[in-house]
Amino acid sequence: MLSARRLLVPRLSRCYATAAASRVVDSSSFAGGNHTPYFPDEPMGPSMLTNVPGPESKRIIQRLDQYQDTRSVFFVADFARSKGNYIVDADGNTMLDVFAQIASIPVGYNNPAFLKLSSDPAFQTALANRAALGVNPNKDWVESVENAFMRVAPKGMSNVFTVMCGSCANENAFKTAFMYKAAKRRGEKDFTMQELSSCMSNQAPGAPDDMAILSFSRGFHGRLFGSLTATSSKAIHKIDIPAFDWPNAPFPQLRYPLHENEAYNRQVEQASLKEAENMIQNGKKTIAAVIIEPIQSEGGDNHASPEFFRELQAICKRNDVLFIVDEVQTGVGATGTFWAHEAWNLPTPPDMVTFSKKFQAAGFYTSPHLRPAQPYRLYNTWMGDPVRAMQAAAIVNEVYDKDLLQNVRNVGQYLQTNLQQNRKIESVRGQGAFIAFDLENPAQRDKFLLDMRQLGVNVGGCGEKTVRLRPMLTFQKHHADILLDTMDKAL
């Protein structure tokens, strides 16, 4: 298969250092799918002038470090010069970007549709007049809701609650679940005086200490106090921070490739489901909701089967527990469907689906029956950002206009097939172009990431020894070939 790829695809990366500027893409040479580059004027390949971070990046990092902790900074970007799938850094290095601002860039740097939006008077009005959407939504807000969120709403989900970030999305989903569960417990009765007064001093019964959210080991759901409690990907994120005494069930630790380990994996998933239901039924707290990622991202790109998720939903249903799908990283097309959970063929929709990152806007899908009986309980000052919602609508247009989901499926298939041939990497797994593989150990993984960056391809890690590919939806076969060839060099 690797040789097939090499026969069919021009080996751009072999010569990009010398010929990148003058080469012309020969679209007839691609193996299938969408042949036309989405960005005709994007660079032909990486072009490296210095090490990364280079001297100019270092100078800016040093200046910034006076004010902010910069230990996590890879390099300083020059977004004005970045284009499509290529990021240019402050030293003029041009890198193919397969990390994309931690999976936050949906349709390429300086996408013309995004730039055009900037000169739209309605967009400028939204920018210059920050609405408190719960008090004074602008008259075109309802159109943003329809054009951005409802147009791609998971089937059967008719409501959306918008906030400012992914952690905020998950925490408001948790609040919704607690209010819903408490209301069911309370029945027709009103709040008691004891509840109303005890909650003011953070005590039960008003602030219930017998309810919890069930998450899964190695899951990542955010870094604020509620979302961090549900997170268990890395100890360094959690240590020294008080947490609620909420449980996490074992996420199935599957063997890859999935199709070669079906029997074993099925067993592991069944054990995980059994333990999750046991914790729901026999744990010390009442579980209001289960939260899970379709693919555990920060925790190491851990997969589970559609059957697993369908059975988990069934467990939730029969135990009267809400089922929250965290699509903050998997959502907005990365897996080849707009939402990753579409691949599960659930018999009924999840109760809530949270989003952020690539959608630019954050929030969660929900249903009218989950609205609290009283107003102002699920509320805040801004209630989301109209500017980011307008961008979300532009993203949805771009996804459909350019058939980007089909592109993701094509390039994802191509990448997965080729990566599986590579004997120097392990445990290749993916859904669409949301792909990961392991190296032998953390040190080798870290070295690989650094080497790739010096060779002009920006990739990120996750878990212990995993490399995660987070291409934009505009990542095409010619980009995949550069990635694959550069990997050959780096390994």
Distance CA 254, CA 265 (A): 5
CB of 319 to its own copies, least distance (A): 19
Q: Is 189 in the site for its own copies (CB under 8 A)?
A: no
CB of 251 to its own copies, least distance (A): 13
91, 97, 301, 326: which is the annotated catalytic residue?
A: 326
Using CB under 8 A as the criterion, what x/- string covers residues 231-260 for binding its own copies? -x--xxxxxxxxxxxxxx------------
- 429 SS3 class: strand
Give the one residue of 30, 38, 178, 309 binding its own copies; rule: CB under 8 A.
178
- 174 SS3 class: helix
Nearer to its own copies, 211 or 419 (CB): 211
Is the previous residue joined to 368 through a cis bond, with omega within 30 degrees of 0? no
Nearer to its own copies, 304 or 459 (CB): 459
123, 178, 220, 323: which is the annotated catalytic residue?
A: 220
Q: Is 450 in the site for its own copies (CB under 8 A)?
A: no
CB of 398 to its own copies, least distance (A): 12
State residue 104 phi and psi, 5-degree precision: -105, -5
Q: Is 118 in the site for its own copies (CB under 8 A)?
A: yes
Tell me which residues in 395-424 interact with its own copies (CB under 8 A): none
220: annotated active-site residue: yes
CB of 201 to its own copies, least distance (A): 7
Q: Is 206 in the site for its own copies (CB under 8 A)?
A: yes
Q: Is 282 in the site for its own copies (CB under 8 A)?
A: no
Structure-derived torsion over alpha carbons of residues 422, 427, 71, 490, reported in degrees to the nearest 10: -10
357: annotated active-site residue: yes
Sign of CA dihedral 151, 155, 159, 162: negative
Q: Is 141 in the site for its own copies (CB under 8 A)?
A: yes
326: annotated active-site residue: yes
Note whether 339 and 149 are within 8 A (CB). no
Residue 384 φ/ψ region, left for φ over 0, alpha for ψ in the -120 to 50 degree band, beta for the rest: left
Q: Is 49 in the site for its own copies (CB under 8 A)?
A: no
Sign of CA dihedral 150, 152, 154, 156: positive
Element (H, E) at 170: helix 166-186
- 240 SS3 class: coil
Buried b or exposed e, range 259-292, using 16+ CB within 10 angstroms: eeeeeebeebbeebbeebbebbeeeebbbbbbbb
Q: Is 184 in the site for its own copies (CB under 8 A)?
A: no
Q: Is 229 in the site for its own copies (CB under 8 A)?
A: yes
Q: Is 223 in the site for its own copies (CB under 8 A)?
A: yes
Q: Is 220 in the site for its own copies (CB under 8 A)?
A: no
Nearer to its own copies, 5 or 83 (CB): 83
Is the previous residue joined to 205 through a cis bond, with omega within 30 degrees of 0? yes
CB of 485 to its own copies, least distance (A): 24
Q: Is 28 in the site for its own copies (CB under 8 A)?
A: no
Spatial CA neighbour of 134 closest among 380, 390, 386, 392: 380
Nearer to its own copies, 10 or 134 (CB): 134
Element (H, E) at 262: helix 262-282
83, 181, 357, 477: which is the annotated catalytic residue?
A: 357
CB of 419 to its own copies, least distance (A): 24
Is the previous residue joined to 306 through a cis bond, with omega within 30 degrees of 0? no
Q: Is 41 in the site for its own copies (CB under 8 A)?
A: no
For the chain, how long is the longest CA-to-CA vector? 76
Element (H, E) at 212: strand 211-216
CB of 261 to its own copies, least distance (A): 26
Tell me which residues in 63-92 interact with its own copies (CB under 8 A): 63-64, 66-69, 71-80, 82, 87, 90
Catalytic residues: 220, 326, 357, 381
